[in-house]
Amino acid sequence: MIRSTADATRQVALLLLSIDRTAAAKLLRNLPRARVEDLLRAMKELEGEPIDDLAVEAAFTEFQRRVTDGRLPLGDVAAEADLVIDAAFEPDDARAIRQRVEAQLRARRPFRELETLDPKDLARLCEGENQQVAAMLLAHLPPARAARVLEGLPEAVRPGIVSRIARLGQAPAAAVDRVVQSMLDRVEELGLRATGKAPDSWLAAASEILVSLSRAGAVLDAISETDEELGKRIRAAMFVFEDLGRLDRATMQSLLGEVDTRTLALALKATTGDVERNVLANLSRRAAAMVAEERDLLGPTPLREVRAAQEVVLDALHGLVEQGRVRVGDPTEPLV
């Protein structure tokens, strides 16, 4: 997501990608070469990122319009950036700029081509490598993503990998390149697929449509019959536990009727204040007190057990939506 505090370079990169390519090229021709390289790098780093409307709507109205009407698919950002550079400079100059920027990107994010793999697939990849190689990969991933990959590895190897991450030194670029190429070869060998940030944004769009559908279950069942894995991914994207904080009273009460108090208490061990307030507010005073007390009595609890309880709650919500018993959509949408 593009943060509202994004620096000027990223904002200019967004603008260049949103305006006519010829206009962008004219602008770039009048900038110092170093600035052009900075902007091209920023443009390429935007590839596949979902755009935060609130962060960009004031300065990038035209860009937002092009995204929403489909004329600038987010996944084409890198290609669009290259085309802008090609339009701005002579072929040899454009090629030289692209090569320098690609080298800079490889130095900063050597495992960039692996970043969009599903964490479970990355864990499979790491299992076939020695711990030093796995540490090198995880050290270059965003911390939250690296943690998910680590959770997918056997507990016995986790301490060794984390220790090696902490002791990583400056590896020679050639050695890093060899590791990256070796892992890319294994990706092809294992038949792993990159999820990609842009495809995920369309996956989210599909899931949001189903969330608002009166009987999503029939559609999901039909999808799963032809592509079971896609059906699972759409279903998983429909809700996260934090969404419980925005459910209306009727939906929440229907959901709470499907979940036992112990599961609910365990699920509330690690969540937001909004979720906790909405859950407890939709229980009777006595039931709310029981759930809160049971949660407190549980004491320190493994996070995986809490996540498992949250999955039970989400499964119950999925069931209600798919059966058409509740509808979770835009809260401002009028009912007829």
How distant, in Å, are the alpha carbons of 46, 182, 212, 219, 327 from that of 322? 35, 43, 11, 9, 9
Residue 4: pLDDT band (50, 70, 90) is very low
The answer to whether residue 117 is domain-embedded is yes
CB under 8 Å, gap of 24 or more: what pairs does 54-59 form? Answer: 54/4, 55/1, 55/2, 55/3, 55/4, 55/6, 56/2, 56/14, 59/11, 59/14, 59/15
The tokens describing 307, both together, are 């996540």
| Residues contacting residue 225 through CB under 8 Å, at least 6 positions apart | none
Q: Where among 190, 224, 255 does a domain terminate?
A: 190
- Residues 269-287: pLDDT tens digits? 888 888 889 999 999 999 9
> How confident is the model at residue 293, as a pLDDT?
92
- Residues 89-115: pLDDT tens digits? 888 888 888 778 777 766 667 777 777
Do 335 and 246 lie in one domain? The reply is: yes
- Per-residue pLDDT averaged across 201-209, rounded? 65
Q: What value does the mean pLDDT of the chain take?
A: 75
Do 21 and 104 lie in one domain? The reply is: yes
The tokens describing 200, both together, are 């995920």
The answer to whether residue 46 is domain-embedded is yes
The answer to whether residue 3 is domain-embedded is no
The CA R_g of the chain, rounded to the nearest whole Å, is: 24
The tokens describing 225, both together, are 């019959």
Q: How many domains does the chain have?
A: 4
Cβ atoms 317, 239 nearer than 8 A: yes
Range of the domain at 222: 196-237
Do 186 and 146 lie in one domain? The reply is: yes
Cβ atoms 98, 39 nearer than 8 A: no
The tokens describing 81, both together, are 């950036």
Do 142 and 229 lie in one domain? The reply is: no
Considering 233-242, 262-271, 324-333, the range whose residues carry the highest mean pLDDT is 262-271
Do 262 and 213 lie in one domain? The reply is: no
106-115, 117-126, 161-170, 259-268, range with the lowest pLDDT = 106-115
> How confident is the model at residue 279, as a pLDDT?
92
The answer to whether residue 1 is domain-embedded is no
Do 155 and 85 lie in one domain? The reply is: no
How distant, in Å, are the alpha carbons of 100, 134, 150, 151, 169 from that of 158? 36, 10, 7, 8, 19
Do 100 and 139 lie in one domain? The reply is: no
320 versus 104: the higher-pLDDT residue is 320
> How confident is the model at residue 145, as a pLDDT?
81
Q: Where among 108, 123, 146 does a domain terminate?
A: 108
Q: Can you give the pTM of this predicted structure?
A: 0.39
> How confident is the model at residue 201, as a pLDDT?
54
The tokens describing 25, both together, are 């090229």
Q: Where among 169, 190, 211 does a domain terminate?
A: 190
DSSP 180: H
The answer to whether residue 224 is domain-embedded is yes
The answer to whether residue 268 is domain-embedded is yes
The answer to whether residue 253 is domain-embedded is yes
Do 178 and 220 lie in one domain? The reply is: no
Do 327 and 251 lie in one domain? The reply is: yes
DSSP 302: -
Do 136 and 97 lie in one domain? The reply is: no
Cβ atoms 211, 240 nearer than 8 A: no
| Residues contacting residue 70 through CB under 8 Å, at least 6 positions apart | none
The answer to whether residue 292 is domain-embedded is yes
Do 271 and 312 lie in one domain? The reply is: yes
CATH number of the domain enclosing 308? 1.10.220.30
